[in-house]
């Protein structure tokens, strides 16, 4: 996939919460999963090893800071971190808070739902605080 046709090169990929020259953090518009975030490389790279060593470390520092902000803000039962890229071959990490009562738990969010349900209002309200929590963790990196 060329950068001209790459979805993540041509679109933000969600609601922008934070960015620097290396990457951006976006909220995924997934109503059943408030707090579902992505960390997306700013330039088109297919694989983590296409990044320089320092860039890889810096990108993972962002992923871990985002995970930490989500954990502190939403207090999930578990966190899922995933970098797949099969459908969109552009380096990006999914940072997904998981709760025992979510529709897919304990399976992946992409699996068949195990139950009905929607997140409670408190979880949605806490997810709205993530931008500030992420900014506090990452500052002006």
Q: What is the DSSP letter of 100?
A: T
Backbone angles phi, psi at 41, to 5 degrees: -60, 140
Arithmetic mean of pLDDT, 104-112: 91
Structure confidence at residue 5 (pLDDT): 87
Domain ranges in the chain are 3-138
pLDDT range class, residue 3, cuts 50, 70, 90: confident
CATH number given to 3-138 = 3.30.428.10
């Amino acid at each position: 996939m060329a950068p001209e046709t790459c979805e993540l090169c041509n679109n933000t990929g969600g609601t922008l919460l934070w960015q620097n020259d290396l990457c951006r953090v976006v909220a995924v518009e997934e109503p059943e999963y408030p707090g579902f975030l992505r960390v997306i490389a700013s330039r088109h790279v297919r694989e983590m090893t296409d990044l320089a060593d320092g860039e890889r470390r810096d990108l993972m520092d962002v992923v871990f800071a985002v995970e930490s902000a989500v954990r502190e803000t939403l207090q999930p039962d578990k966190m899922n971190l995933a970098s797949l890229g099969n459908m969109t071959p552009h380096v990006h990490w999914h940072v997904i808070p998981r709760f025992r009562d979510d529709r897919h738990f304990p399976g992946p969010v992409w699996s068949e739902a195990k139950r009905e349900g929607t997140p409670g209002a408190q979880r949605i309200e806490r997810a709205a605080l993530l931008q500030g929590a992420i900014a506090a963790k990452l500052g002006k990196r």
